[in-house]
Amino acid sequence: MRNILFTTDFTSSSQQALDWARLFARKFGATLTLLHVYQPMLPDTTLPVLGDPGEGVAASHDIEELSRQRLLELATQLQAEGFAAQGDWRTGSVEEEILNAVRDNGSDLIVTSRSNDRTFFDRLTGDAATALIKDATCPLLLVPTADEKRAVAPSQVQTITYLMQPQTTQAEASRQTSALADAFGATLHFAALDQLDKKPADLLVVMDYRPSGLFTTNPAQRVVSQSSVPVLIYHPEAK
């Protein structure tokens, strides 16, 4: 694992995911690429224009520059902490630009937050995370957003649980978990979907087999939606 792509919108949700990106980068000696996908402000043409219409354009430009500056500051902060870190600022579709950044940076892992909250930006993040489960070309670590009563703060991954599915082979499960268990010095468990509640873990690992069929349930998405701990998702190798 040489390059970890961390996506940030500079909210508290992405701060929690950053803690996990730090943890993985430290354990694997990986470079952290910090990605921010800027969403331009779109003027509401149904509202009357008050004052100089150029003020809105100027405000949008100021916000854009602020996002660039915050990304630079975050990269500088991580470099001061001893990490190899670089910023990657883009604009466009969140999901598309994440996938483009993976390709351009040769990323081995995506770390992003997953929120089930109801605000527009939380839904945007959640939708992008859900789409990444299906479309990502490298492993994806989804960190659930914590509420004020439950913090998701990794100090050490001591227990890893791997979800066994009908398609899973022991060789495949071992290949995806041995390096993790060694890096963290963690205890490794294997469990079926209905056994996950009985196997408390700091990290869940699941293969996204992308089942076909209109009414077929995707175990990976089910685990992500219900998990209170981060979920690391692998994808089948292309044949």
Per-residue pLDDT of the chain (239 residues; tens, 9 = 90+): 899 999 998 887 788 889 999 999 999 999 999 999 987 765 544 545 555 555 444 555 677 889 999 999 999 999 999 999 999 999 988 889 999 999 999 999 999 987 655 443 444 445 566 677 778 889 999 998 765 445 555 567 999 999 988 888 888 888 889 999 999 999 999 988 888 887 789 999 999 886 665 545 677 778 887 888 899 999 877 55
Q: Is the CB of residue 67 less than 8 Å from the CB of residue 89?
A: yes
Q: Which residues pair with residue 6 across a beta bridge?
A: 34, 111
Phi-psi region at 163: left, alpha or beta (left = phi > 0; alpha = psi -120 to 50): beta
Q: Provide the pLDDT for residue 212.
A: 60
- Distance between CA 53 and CA 50 in Å, rounded? 7
Q: Provide the pLDDT for residue 57.
A: 47
Sheet holding 31-38, edge to edge: 85-91, 31-38, 3-7, 109-114, 140-144, 231-234, 203-207, 159-163, 187-191
Q: Domain-by-domain residue ranges, the chain? A: 1-43+56-145, 156-239
DSSP 8-state symbol, 52:
-
The domain covering 156-239 belongs, at the CATH homologous superfamily level, to Response regulator (3.40.50.2300)
Q: Provide the pLDDT for residue 123.
A: 44
Q: Which CATH topology does 1-43+56-145 take?
A: Rossmann fold (3.40.50)
